[in-house]
Chain A
């Protein structure tokens, strides 16, 4: 129905424009919030509100246009209560808690619990009585029998045919022979039916990576003071470190999430250069980050998770007086220091230097992460011995300079750099360094075969003040057609 027609029918119709992206963000926020129940939260891909704007699903709203979330709460329900009847009490409590909290935030929702995602999906949308929303264990076959076939998550044409054939309830499909059904409608109806009944596995794609290790701490009263949050973090960390110890792993990345009373979630993460399960050290890293977290109106739940862990046997025993050994293993606290520095300044800003086999001065030195192996003893020395005199500082990008030279192939007699004239008194050179033809150019193309690679002629010069510079001429001296020299001069470094 068009808007104009609708307005003609109902003159005082209130309309607002749809905002699918805002809806998407909202459902994302709710999904994040649901992490409090289980790490395995998926946004239902068949949710009506998530359909593309302008499509049929959006305009008709499907079954009310509701987006859905699928939560895999396997193994999480005991946290919410345990009765004599096994986990069922916990499951019921979790369901009641979820619905209660969401409605407190003014979300109208229906939540169903069943053994399979398909059955829960159908129950949440089509169950007629409140009591049916909780499907007891292995009870999905009976629970689904009376629901309409729309509960099978099928496309509209198949559903229409089903209705024409008089198959209105899911239960009507149970006695039908499977082979003719598959021949007539394809695999989908049978797949969906099997998934709903638990005869076939259905994999939910979790929204966030599911961490292998996770601890949670709920509070009776919301907390908000930084010292309380720090104390809670330390307790969570202690619990997690015990888990690590049992599993023989160390954390590479830890993430803490604050669930605020207003339903929003704030997260922050720390990373370490090598597996770590040292509680005080990890806590020290967290202290840096905790100040960034905003408790808002109060925090009712904190979850600490380790998304990245690595097998780790524990601290190496360092021999006494083995300073060099400790240095090579990083057991002397350097790695922890690097972690702290990297956390505040960014991992790319805390580096080791490795030598690289290259003729080009700017490629000789490569910065690598601290966790990688340092250069072997004497590697730098060998490299330095192979090269000529090098500057103590190398400009990241050579600066063009203007030069005056009496003889074209000689070092210049004066060069101008940054509005200062430097009169050259002494010079060493040239040292010719050719481009590496075996390497592709920065744009990805390879230099054509048979041509000479571009060369640079480096000169070490000293001006009348004693300042020593590293200059190069871009290519050999040549005259262009207009009589101007083609070679340009650049300043590439400062010598000691």
Chain B
């Protein structure tokens, strides 16, 4: 079976000889898919991509689960998240630049993905976690019920990261598992690669949920960075509207290159219809939020 080595992105030998000084800057695997810093012709890059994609589709059995957002699905290989692959969801910093205080939004997005996977295949959802930090906040089933039936969950708690990866790998090999999610602080390259291979072999999707943006990994097929975004109140009130997330697609291996460096969207989770919807940023973007804020302040002062 052909194995895609991380160097598949590297320029061919001749090019490398010429640009020896510049090879350090050769495309890091985590760079956005359409990164153009390396001196490699676009056509060659496209060729490599097509080759890789052929491998991937062949190995992953061509199955993909659409996110339900046509604009995003169009960029993803096979029009959705490949099953039998490793995907990463990480909590991003908030708009003001502070490190995310929590990953409630990332958890929500991961739960949404789990829900999509769960709807596709019957079976148990394996949720492996390592309590991290000084406080322990496990996922809360009454809210997860919005995305999938928590009765299907098998929750595994481990003390060490290695145990989380081991449990995920065991889960990926088990025929009765529909999807596997791991909550850890960091995945080293070896464990990530092992998870990818296990997922490819069984066709079971694997998700890594990380509370902090961690050092980049090269093994996952897609990496998402999720930050919570201000919601939209009912006009005239200060209530919380539907949850909004800032979605960054930081890595999209085998996918269609997008016009932007890092494609980014503002999406809204509708609790009533149980689906994600794209929010037009020109209408309800930051200016709208600012305006509302000013309203709130006026009220407070008044």
| Residue B144 CB within 8 A of the other chain | yes
- Docked-complex contact A365 and B175, CB < 8 angstroms: no
- Docked-complex contact A327 and B233, CB < 8 angstroms: no
- Docked-complex contact A333 and B176, CB < 8 angstroms: yes
- Docked-complex contact B137 and A468, CB < 8 angstroms: no
| Residue B184 CB within 8 A of the other chain | no
Chain B interface (Cβ < 8 Å from any Cβ of A) = 94-96, 98, 100-105, 107-109, 111, 121-124, 126, 135-146, 149-159, 163, 166-167, 170-171, 174-177, 227-231, 233, 238-241, 243-246, 269, 271, 292-293, 296, 300
The main secondary structure of chain B at its interface with chain A is mixed
- By Cβ-Cβ distance, the 3 closest A-B pairs, closest first, are A332-B176, A496-B108, A494-B104
Distance (whole angstroms) from the CB of B267 to the closest CB of chain A: 12
- Docked-complex contact B228 and A465, CB < 8 angstroms: yes
- Docked-complex contact A349 and B239, CB < 8 angstroms: no
30 pairs from A and B in contact (CB 8 Å cutoff): A323-B122, A323-B123, A332-B175, A334-B154, A341-B156, A345-B163, A350-B157, A365-B140, A370-B154, A375-B150, A380-B149, A380-B151, A390-B142, A391-B143, A393-B137, A393-B139, A393-B140, A397-B135, A426-B240, A426-B241, A426-B296, A428-B239, A462-B240, A465-B96, A465-B228, A466-B94, A467-B94, A467-B102, A495-B243, A496-B243
A-chain residues with CB within 8 Å of residue B175 when the two chains form the complex: 332-333
Q: How many residues of A contact B (CB 8 A)?
A: 70
Cα distance A332–B126 in the bound complex, in angstroms: 14
Cα distance A338–B167 in the bound complex, in angstroms: 10
Cα distance A377–B149 in the bound complex, in angstroms: 8
Cα distance A381–B152 in the bound complex, in angstroms: 12
| Residue A227 CB within 8 A of the other chain | no
Cα distance A399–B134 in the bound complex, in angstroms: 11
- Docked-complex contact A464 and B140, CB < 8 angstroms: no
| Residue A384 CB within 8 A of the other chain | yes
- Docked-complex contact B108 and A334, CB < 8 angstroms: no
A-chain residues with CB within 8 Å of residue B146 when the two chains form the complex: 384
| Residue A204 CB within 8 A of the other chain | no
Cα distance A353–B102 in the bound complex, in angstroms: 23
* 15 further interface pairs, Cβ-Cβ under 8 Å (given A370-B154, A381-B149): A327-B176, A330-B176, A345-B159, A367-B155, A376-B151, A379-B151, A384-B146, A392-B139, A393-B139, A406-B300, A460-B240, A465-B94, A493-B137, A494-B107, A494-B137
B-chain residues with CB within 8 Å of residue A467 when the two chains form the complex: 94, 100-102, 104-105, 228
Binds B, one of A20-28, A137-145, A293-301, A416-424: A416-424
